[in-house]
Structure 1
């Protein structure tokens, strides 16, 4: 933008293209950050699922074996069974496996958004439709946390 001596404002003819490119760069950077965050969350929920599920299975097996071994082992077996039930209830309450899958879906959706934005930025000329397409990919990535099925490509709202 330039201002001549008479005070009128002259718009730079490249300003809309520059702003469009800047917005697409911002979306690409957001997608990169969100992809990495979803990856870290998926890893966390995988570890949580293992940390709760493995002890539950191990304690359940041990409790069953101890309960069948002798009559004196029934109280320790009952305690092991209670601990196993606690781990299983914790895993069910946290739904770590569901959260892991949701974050993996989101990671893939954010990666698609990031890749699409990178391809758009490699083009010499960008159009507002390019930004609309990327915003549809962003919306699909945001909804990937809630849906059961991946949402590849633009949403049905873009038509």
Structure 2
């Protein structure tokens, strides 16, 4: 006759370590994906900054030169100045340069998390403290999108 025991299931002795290792791998994989995404976003916003800024500067210079050329060129100069103002307003509204810097900061933070996770996974034993450290690094990477760059004279914030 077979009897079954009722009660908490016993985990194999290495089950908690396997779960910790699996979570570290998940964090490393997330960091890799987020790093690549932040890199692509930084490139996009850098291009958007050029696409909006260069025509604005070119049109502003052309409008000034056209306006000074002859009195009959007032209307074309005004139209060029309006187009330049539109590009400038668009660039200011989108804040592409700020978004580019934020994504670069985030890319570096995600890369740091990825590197730390890789080092932790290379160790024979991982602990809950290792996971806690990486979760703090993850929070720092998430905050990097909104964070400000350190002011001159202030030390940069070191994660974990």
Please report the TM-score for the alignment, with normalisation by the length of structure 2: 0.91
Q: Could you tell me which residue of structure 1 aligns to residue 130 of structure 2?
A: 130
Give the RMSD, CA atoms, in angstroms.
Answer: 1.1
List, as ranges, runs of 4+ consecutive aligned residues in structure 1 with deviation greater than 3 Å: none
CA distance in 1, matches of 2:51, 2:44: 10
Where do 5+ consecutive residues of structure 1 fail to align?
A: 155-159
Instruction: State the shift of 1:151 in Å.
Output: 4.2
- Conserved in 2, the CA contact under 8 Å of 1:140 and 1:151? no
Q: Could you tell me which residue of structure 1 aligns to residue 109 of structure 2?
A: 109
Q: CA, structure 1 residues 151+32, in 2 after alignment: closer, same or farther (shift >3 Å)? A: farther
Aligned length: 150
Instruction: State the shift of 1:153 in Å.
Output: 1.4
Where do 5+ consecutive residues of structure 2 fail to align?
A: 150-155
| SS of the residue 1:152 aligns to | coil
- Conserved in 2, the CA contact under 8 Å of 1:144 and 1:151? no
CA distance in 2, matches of 1:10, 1:136: 31
Please report the TM-score for the alignment, with normalisation by the length of structure 1: 0.91
CA distance in 2, matches of 1:53, 1:10: 64
CA distance in 2, matches of 1:89, 1:127: 52
CA distance in 2, matches of 1:132, 1:107: 21
